[in-house]
Amino acid sequence: MSRDITVLGLESSCDDTAAAVVRGRDILSSVVADQTDLHAAFGGVVPEIAARAHAEKLDLCVETALQQAALSLADVDAIAVTAGPGLIGGVLSGVMMAKGLSAATGKPLIGVNHLAGHALTPRLTDGLGYPYLILLVSGGHCQFLRVEGPTTFVRLGSTIDDAPGEAFDKTARLLGLAQPGGPSVEMRALEGDETRFKFPRPLLDRPGCDLSFSGLKTALLRQRDQLIADQGGLHGKDVDDLCAGFQAAIRDVLIEKSRRALALSEGITGFAVAGGVAANQSLRSALETVSAEHSAPFVAPPLALCTDNAAMIAYAGAERFAVEGADDLTLSARPRWPLDKQAPALIGSGRKGAKA
């Protein structure tokens, strides 16, 4: 970018309402209001509840983000907002808020692909140059992307059914653990024996970088039911070992597929991981080892920037604005929005948002 513009970012694609102010690579403020308590009784995100909460909290998050940045709307150069993919009610809430702010202030409006926000986070945090390989592994999405520019992505592989984040959430529900499932399963896995149960490693017997995790969830369900039938219930150690074995299976699949993706990625500046599941310490450590095997610098954003946030949306908006300019007020909310427009469409739709 020729100069560092100041961008107000809004994010509301799932169950986090967020606003942030970013100037260049400097995060002046980042506010996230989560909805964990609202959805706890339902074992997962309820789209209607999420959309209503976004509508109630967006203006408060924007006000707080501006206050923390010691700026007013007049000091902002542009407004960026997640325009998809995601739960359509939440995305629509953010888009309408951003449109209102843009119309009222005359500031440029920039619609951002939520996945592009995650994919460009290594540039925000570490200044990683193009092109680079990224494993984007978030709630409803998992894919390997060669990032060649702010709006240029080549998909090397992706999940053909459930994403790891969905699998972690489902596993937590099956074992009676709290949502979101990723942190709950990871915590119990720390005390578990990952070798006790033999879980499958889906698609490792097939070439390519595509992934599948639906069968892994089924295997865990069957093992849980067998334990209950044999001993009349689950013991604490059983839950620990099930979590450890499940996490190890996901880790092993992602590691092998990362090796294949790296082998296909010549001339890259590094290998990065982003998205909510990237907060898993076991996975981050293993990915760093694989990256070193291929002599590729490894980038893993801070944990606060792995989960959904508006700082990544503001930064991605600035990069997109530099090459494509602004959107107008016809910008629409999109439940589906593939990053690689040349790649074939993926199958299915996840609980945390449509596949892209």
**CA–CA distance, 93 with 91 (Å, rounded to integer):** 5
pLDDT at 345 over 90: no
CATH of 6-123+304-338, one of 3.30.420.40, 3.40.50.970, 3.40.630.40, 3.10.50.40: 3.30.420.40
* 6-123+304-338 and 129-296 in the same fold: yes
Q: What 3-state DSSP class applies to 7?
A: strand
Instruction: Give the separation between CA 136 and CA 132, rounded to whole angstroms.
Output: 12
Q: For position 356, what pLDDT does the model report?
A: 52
pLDDT of residue 52 exceeding 70, the answer is yes
In 3D space, the residue among 288, 290, 308 whose CA is nearest the CA of residue 300 turns out to be 288
Comparing C-alpha atoms, which of 22, 109, 7, 114 is closest to residue 325?
109
Quick check: 68 and 8 in contact, CB under 8 A? Answer: no
Report the pLDDT averaged over residues 49-71. 96
Q: What is the mean pLDDT of residues 294-312?
A: 94
Task: At 232, list the tokens.
Answer: 């009349």
Q: Is the dihedral of CA 170, 174, 180, 186 positive or negative?
A: negative
* Range name among 18-22, 27-31, 158-162 with the lowest pLDDT average: 158-162
The count of C-alpha atoms lying within 13 angstroms of the C-alpha of 83, restricted to the half-sphere facing its C-beta, is 21
Quote the percentage of the chain above a pLDDT of 90.
79
pLDDT value for 84 = 94
Residue range 129-296, CATH number: 3.30.420.40
**Can you tell me the distance from the alpha carbon of 125 to that of 1, in angstroms, rounded to the nearest whole number?**
16
Task: Tell me the pLDDT band of 180, cut-offs 50, 70 and 90.
Answer: confident
Question: Per-domain residue ranges for the chain?
Answer: 6-123+304-338, 129-296
* CA-based end-to-end distance of the chain: 27
Please tell me the predicted confidence (pLDDT) of residue 278. 85
What is the structure's pLDDT at 353? 41
Cα angle, residue 331 at apex, residues 315 and 82 outer, rounded to 5°: 35
Q: What percent of the chain has pLDDT over 70?
A: 96
pLDDT at 287 over 50: yes
Q: What is the pTM of this model?
A: 0.92
Tell me which residue of 121, 123, 114 sits closest to 141, measured CA to CA. Answer: 114
More confident residue, 341 or 292: 292
